[in-house]
């Protein structure tokens, strides 16, 4: 009897939790929080609105760009600076426009996610320090500046308008001991940034004032008649907006028609609740979705997702079908079937890159050419749009695509899956990818590499090709320089930074990068005198 009672309580608790975390509650919460984001964006209408992937992408339909700062890089007593996520395009955009507004959120009851509390402040400080170093060397080499008069001389020469602030700016709620620990590592991280080969001059060309974060949440007090002009500040503001309200208690909200449970940071972990709905689709049909109410909500979302799937499949874009069960009550809003979860993850990944209205010129093009290498990256769904500009295609998606190949050697399909599904899929296919790339690049052909999102697997394959077949300057040499290259983590960072400089949406996973490093290390160690393994 006691066992039955415990099971009943357990089932009741699960039922309540599932009901509270339903897709209707999630999207209704996002819709409510988006009003606050719009209000903040309206205070500084000239500043670009930027989404921090992936959670922040849900809170507006007017994003001009995206960035990628992970909260794990800012966890307490475990902070780090990632050279794989430099986000230099964000610094350039802020410099060009006088600042930017970054949107993110968190479910953990905090006012700000760790990505905003520590990751972005660390990033801004390290970048400021690297810029200051570069400017000091530049003026010292020209004989125009002594170290002690650094600030004043720069102002007189017109290079930058004020003294360059290299201090660490953290929010007040970060403990002093943790701030001291971070400051002790700033020199180390600055050295890593310089050693990885990041193009600091690229940032200096547009950034006139040092970067500095500011924090705004729904608990912030802003007097509308006293909103400061960002041009008057002696720094380039990175305004960090945490979209969700956090008061630490369960919030049951009621409108004239429906009652619903508020979820802070509802845009997080979209695979578990979105059911194939992307931010783009949501904002395209936001009013219809919200007005459908909790009872008809699941059916409405299923119809929208299915229509989008059919629409895109008719244009040659293969998308998995999402299993949607209309007949269940709203308590079953979260997908419980494992296969459906995977399908939804694929749909979200497929649509995510196109889910915002990109206005910057760098993102309007579907194709990312990697400098002078004749190698380009794109998503699988865009191959048909850009195939006229390339000579050969290396398809790393699980699905085949149509490609008008000029010869049998112009197309290769390698169905590679992410490291979460197969820890060796990428490593086992890299040899074939390298051979195919060398065969075509040696004939001065333009090579296109694609995968389902254009951000992970294709980037890792490109990294392996660039490392094995190109020298440090990005010139094709068929693998000659690779025989003299020491495959270290630092060397991998340099090559990855080179790729990410041109593919700014690149987000290679750690598991896939490990496979690339393992493959390159194995190839380098095996018979270095024999023009490399596998035909190199």
Q: Are residues 134 and 280 in the same domain?
A: no
Domain tally, the chain: 3
111-142 tens-digit pLDDT: 899 999 999 999 999 999 999 998 888 777 66
Residue 71 resides in a domain: yes
Average confidence (pLDDT) over 365-373:
84
Q: Are residues 107 and 179 in the same domain?
A: yes
pTM here? 0.77
447-451 sheet: strands from edge to edge: 368-369, 375-379, 447-451, 392-395, 411-413
d(CA 219, CA 223): 13
Same domain, 55 and 183: yes
In this structure, is residue 248 part of a structural domain?
no
Which runs of consecutive H residues, i.e. helices, occur in 377-424?
Answer: 383-386
Instruction: Tell whether 37 is covered by a domain.
Output: yes
Domain match, 389 and 459 both: yes
Q: Which residue pairs, CB below 8 angstroms and at least 24 apart, start in 165-169?
A: 165/128, 165/210, 165/212, 165/234, 165/235, 166/125, 166/128, 166/129, 166/132, 166/210, 167/125, 168/121, 168/122, 168/125, 169/121, 169/124, 169/125, 169/212, 169/213
Say yes or no: 74 and 209 in one domain.
yes
Band of the pLDDT at 251, cuts 50, 70, 90? low
Pick 375 or 143 by higher pLDDT.
Answer: 375
Q: Which residue has the higher pLDDT, 224 or 430?
A: 430
Q: In which band, very low, low, confident or very high, does the pLDDT at 176 lie, cut at 50, 70 and 90?
A: very high
Domain of residue 308 covers 275-315
pLDDT, one tens digit per residue, over 316-355 is 554 444 433 333 333 333 323 333 332 333 333 333 333 3
> pLDDT-derived band of residue 157, with 50, 70 and 90 as boundaries?
very low
Q: Which of these three, 242, 264, 299, is where a domain ends?
A: 242
More confident residue, 363 or 215: 215
**Quick one: 42 and 93 in the same domain?**
yes
Note whether residue 286 is domain-resident. Answer: yes
Task: Check pLDDT > 80 for residue 398.
Answer: yes
**Contact indicator for 298, 333 with CB cutoff of 8 Å:** yes
Same domain flag for 103 and 196: yes
Q: Give domain status of residue 497, yes or no.
A: yes
Nearest CA to 367 among 516, 202, 504, 509?
Answer: 504
Residues 282, 228 share a domain: no
Indicate if 96 and 228 belong to the same structural domain. Answer: yes
Residue 348 within any structural domain of the chain = no
Is residue 254 situated within a structural domain?
no
Give per-residue pLDDT as tens, 26-85.
999 999 999 999 999 999 999 999 999 989 999 999 999 999 999 989 888 889 999 888
Q: Would 177 be classed as within a structural domain?
A: yes
Confirm if 123 and 69 have CB atoms less than 8 A apart. Answer: yes
């Amino acid at each position: 009897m006691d066992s039955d009672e415990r099971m009943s309580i357990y089932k009741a608790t699960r039922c309540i939790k599932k009901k509270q975390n339903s897709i209707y509650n999630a999207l209704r919460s996002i819709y409510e929080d988006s009003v606050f984001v719009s209000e903040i964006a309206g205070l500084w209408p000239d500043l670009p609105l930027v989404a921090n992937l992936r959670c922040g992408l849900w809170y507006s339909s007017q994003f001009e760009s995206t960035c990628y700062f992970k909260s794990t890089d800012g966890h307490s007593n475990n902070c780090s600076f990632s050279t794989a996520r430099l986000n230099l395009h964000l610094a350039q955009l802020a410099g060009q426009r006088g600042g930017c507004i970054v949107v993110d959120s968190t479910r953990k009851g905090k006012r700000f996610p760790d990505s905003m509390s520590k990751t972005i402040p660390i990033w801004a400080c390290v970048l400021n320090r690297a810029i200051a170093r570069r400017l000091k060397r530049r003026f010292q080499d020209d004989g125009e500046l002594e170290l002690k008069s650094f600030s004043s001389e720069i102002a007189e020469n017109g290079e930058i308008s004020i003294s360059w602030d290299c201090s660490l700016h953290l929010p007040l709620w970060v403990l002093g001991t943790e701030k001291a620990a971070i400051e002790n590592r700033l020199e180390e991280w600055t050295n890593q940034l310089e050693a990885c080969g990041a193009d600091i001059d690229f940032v200096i060309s547009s950034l006139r004032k040092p970067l500095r974060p500011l924090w705004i949440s729904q608990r912030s007090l802003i007097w509308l008649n006293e909103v400061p002009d960002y041009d008057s500040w002696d720094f380039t503001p990175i305004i960090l907006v945490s979209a969700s309200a956090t008061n630490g208690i369960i919030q049951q909200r009621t409108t004239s028609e429906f009652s619903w449970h508020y979820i802070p940071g509802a845009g997080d972990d979209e695979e578990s609740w979105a059911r194939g709905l992307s931010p783009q689709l949501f904002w395209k049909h936001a009013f219809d979705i919200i007005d459908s109410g909790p009872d008809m909500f699941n059916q409405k979302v299923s119809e929208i997702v299915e229509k989008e799937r059919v629409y895109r499949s008719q244009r040659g874009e293969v998308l998995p079908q999402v299993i949607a069960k209309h007949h269940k009550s709203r308590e079953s809003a979260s997908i419980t079937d494992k296969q459906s979860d995977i399908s939804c993850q694929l749909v979200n990944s497929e649509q995510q890159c196109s889910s915002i209205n990109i206005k910057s010129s760098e993102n309007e093009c579907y194709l990312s050419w990697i400098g002078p290498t004749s190698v380009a990256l794109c998503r699988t769904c865009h191959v048909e749009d850009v195939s006229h500009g390339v000579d050969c295609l290396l398809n790393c998606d699980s699905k085949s695509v149509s490609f008008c190949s000029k010869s049998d050697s112009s197309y290769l399909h390698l169905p590679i899956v992410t490291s979460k599904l197969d820890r060796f899929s990428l490593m086992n296919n890299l040899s074939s990818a390298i051979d195919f790339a060398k065969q075509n690049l040696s004939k001065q052909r333009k090579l296109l590499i694609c995968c389902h999102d254009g951000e992970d697997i294709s980037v890792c394959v490109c990294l392996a090709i660039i490392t094995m077949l190109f020298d440090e300057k990005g010139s094709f040499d068929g693998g000659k320089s690779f025989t003299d290259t020491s495959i270290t983590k630092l060397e991998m960072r340099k090559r990855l930074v080179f790729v990410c400089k041109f593919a700014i949406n690149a987000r290679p996973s750690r598991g896939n990068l490990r496979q690339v490093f393992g493959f390159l290390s194995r190839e380098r160690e095996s018979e270095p005198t024999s023009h490399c393994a596998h035909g190199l």
